[in-house]
Amino acid sequence: MDKIVSLSRRRGFVFPSSEIYGGIGSTYDYGHYGVLMKNNIRSLWFESMVRERDDIVALDSAIILNPRVWEASGHVAGFTDPLVDCRTCKLRFRADHLADSECGRRPSKRPGEHTECDLTEARQFNLMFQTQVGALEGEGSLAYLRPETAQGIFVNFKNVLQLARRKPPFGIAQVGKSFRNEITPGNFLFRMREFEQMEMEFFVPPDEADQWFHYWVDARYRWYTDLGLRESHLRKREHDESERSHYSSATTDLEYLYPIGWSELEGVANRGEYDLTQHTQSSGTKLEYVGPDGERYTPHVIEPAVSIDRILLAFLVDGYDEEVVAERQRTVLRLHPLVAPVKAAILPLIGKSDEMVSRARGLYEELRKRHAVEYDDGGAIGRRYRRQDEIGTPFAFTIDEQTLEESTVTVRDRDSLAQERLPIDGVRAWLDDALERPWKSPKES
């Protein structure tokens, strides 16, 4: 993890938030390449969930909802983690994660194992951030920052059903920030207090719930492997009964082998009719489906839920590689070309050659209309290649003497380091094509 954190910092993918004031726990800011990569992940998810389907529509609901939403959903009463404090070292731990935590006095021990440990009894701690709405503080103005985007979807069920003219099975997808006052933050992007969730609630006739649950577990697994995540590092893990939320009849986590061990990347849950029933009872608005022939039922809900941050971390970990090439060490991010923040670099071999610079700028300006590409003429060519390797740029086009004579460029492949020559006029079509090709991680032998 340290190597990933340091690469992210060095190359401006991600850095601690409000760093000049000492930061604030588990909150991160994304720099240029981080933003480009997040945008790619968000649009690849949206493409597969909404754009390429007839049965899912998009929604963007507010972050601050009527607080009654969170009472009805069960979050006010039950969105809690059990917390213990150590009176000696003043650290705070999740009672259910003591086995994975480090004692404040001796990190090789678990909290409670050292003779000086003095742990309190576990007490429940609500993870929702509170805020005030309006000018007056006090009763009646209390509100919450949403801890998940899903409830904004459930409370809009009736609107969308009518306006989008859909009938189950159909889904509503939403991407946006969620906030949780996590007790034991840490582990970089894996557990943040502010993160960007991508959730889709799929409403189905009750007798089709099981079949759709399995469909979504498989579809979401395939989305990751199609984007090159190594199968050796991705697995499905079914929750047993004791782990499941009270309303869920089945949950399967897609787990990734992060440096902290196998951990939840994405959760797929069969939430039954719990949410729509709760909001129907609490709001008095019937959230149900009524068919043209009078048939009526409360749809069941299948939910794939994930954060962009956990996906981005999985891609960074999966792609990170170090190797020695021609006696020099290189660090390379082996990312799927569609995920990589920059698709291609355009490099004049000699940065001081006006002719090469002019041809390279021309190519760069042509390509940037369609793709995130980067122009770089500073320093030795080897160093420029290595800079691109570190941010995962899959292709580099180099403009050299031969370009000036016969209008061809070399293209260098990040993974194999193979080079070939192409006519400069064909680069645009070549790149379009290359980005469409299936890609498999060379780390998976």
Residues 134-161: b if buried by 16+ CB within 10 A, e if exposed: eeeeeeeeebbbbbbbbbbbbbbbbebb
In angstroms, the CA 263 to CA 235 distance is 10
Among 85, 210, 226, 264, binds ligand ATP (CB under 6 A): 264
Any contact of residue 318 with ligand ATP (CB under 6 A)?
no
Q: Minimum CB separation from ligand ATP for residue 267, in Å? A: 4
Binder of ligand ATP out of 307, 388, 398, 408 (CB under 6 A): 307
- Asked if 411 is part of the footprint of ligand ATP (rule: CB under 6 A), the reply reads no
Residue nearest to ligand ATP (CB): 307
Q: Measure CA of the first residue to CA of the last residue in the chain; give whole Å.
A: 22
Q: Which residues make Cβ contacts (< 8 Å) with residue 323, sequence separation at least 6? A: 329, 330, 332
Q: Alpha-carbon distance 241 to 180, whole Å? A: 25
- Residue number, 85 or 264, with CB nearest to ligand ATP: 264
- Other Cβ atoms within 10 Å of 172 Cβ, number: 27
Q: Is 271 in the site for ligand ATP (CB under 6 A)?
A: no
186-205 residues near ligand ATP, rule: CB under 6 A: 191-192, 195, 197
Question: Which amino acid belongs to residue 119?
Answer: L
Question: Considering beta carbons, is residue 273 or 309 the nearer one to ligand ATP?
Answer: 309
Cβ proximity to ligand ATP, 189 vs 435, nearer residue: 189
Give which of 349, 325, 336, 354 is closest to 418, Cα–Cα. Answer: 325
**Which lies closer to ligand ATP via its Cβ, residue 79 or residue 289?**
79
Could you tell me how many helices (H) and strands (E) the chain has, helices first? 13, 23
423: CB partners within 8 A, 6+ apart: 407, 408
- Please work out the total of residues on this chain that contact ligand ATP, with binding judged by CB under 6 A: 15
Closer of 257 and 417 to ligand ATP (Cβ): 257
Stretch of residues binding ligand ATP (CB under 6 A), selected from 113-121, 233-241, 303-311, 363-371: 303-311
Binding mask 126-165 for ligand ATP (x = CB under 6 A): ----------------------x-----------------
Looking at 267, 272, 299, 304, which residue binds ligand ATP (CB under 6 A)? 267
For residue 261, the cross-strand partners are 258
Tokens 């968000």 belong to residue: 42
The site for ligand ATP (CB under 6 A) is made up of 148, 180, 182, 191-192, 195, 197, 264, 266-267, 305-307, 309-310
